[in-house]
Amino acid sequence: MTTKPHIQQPSDQHPSDRHPSDRPTTPVALVTGGSTGLGRSLVHVLAATGWRVITTARNAAELEEAHSGRVGITVRPGDLRSADHRSALAQTVREHGRLDLLVHNASDLGPTPLPPLADVRPEQLHDVLEVNLVAPIALTSLLLPLLSRDNGVLLSLSSDAAVEHYPGWGAYGASKAALDHATLTLAAENQLRGYAVDPGDMRTRMHQAAFPGEDISDRPSPESVVPHLLALIPSGLASGRYRAADIDASLLVEGAAR
């Protein structure tokens, strides 16, 4: 029999206020955009390695199907642009008693086919910024007490479009550049480790939407990127912007310098 992922209901309890000796010891992660692609793969690997994972996405049916039958995963479908949904997510994290990893993976590519930046309507730009910048900052602010207390890691998925000037990628790239800056500023202001990571091209639905009609079967799978992301968690690597493909080399350099 297939087991459905757990859909946690809010409560008034605040396990984050427990005495340290009463707090859970199993690490907890919140991963946004967990229904497809890199987010789904990351959730699966974290849960398989003993983490308790909370994940969210807009499409409830897709989110539940993505994690059906897997233990250690709590799904909370909803729209991150909603303050009520962000509050509900924060409450779910509190009920888990700790937060060791916050991953901002949910993204909005914007209108497709990708238009020149001057052709992006203001309301379209607003939507991209709401999902890719405003919601992550707002959600992080709700979770800072737990994240700081538990020496958690703040991880935001970036893009090479944040630092390169590709035609058609202006809205998305600008939002990711701003998210990079916000992530590292939040980390600096709160003595956290913060990482903005460019995963590189991947064989995902979003990448296909950006290149309609193009064969992307030669792109790396999302699963191949996950080990690079997970290597950051115990690493102690300095906060910063990294390419996933370079993380292993960065860890070697950091280790040699110690």
Which residues are annotated as catalytic?
Answer: 158, 172, 176
Tell me how far the alpha carbon of residue 36 is from its chain's centroid: 12
Q: Which two tokens stand for residue 161?
A: 């479009």
Spatial separation of the C-alpha atoms in residues 51 and 89, rounded to whole Å: 17
Residue 89 contacts residue 66 (beta carbons within 8 Å) = no
Q: Which residues pair with 75 in a beta bridge?
A: 55
User: Residue 184 in 3-state DSSP?
Assistant: helix
Spatial separation of the C-alpha atoms in residues 206 and 143, rounded to whole Å: 27
Residue 30 contacts residue 99 (beta carbons within 8 Å) = yes
- Name the residue among 106, 74, 92 with its Cα closest to residue 6: 74
User: Residue 215 in 3-state DSSP?
Assistant: coil
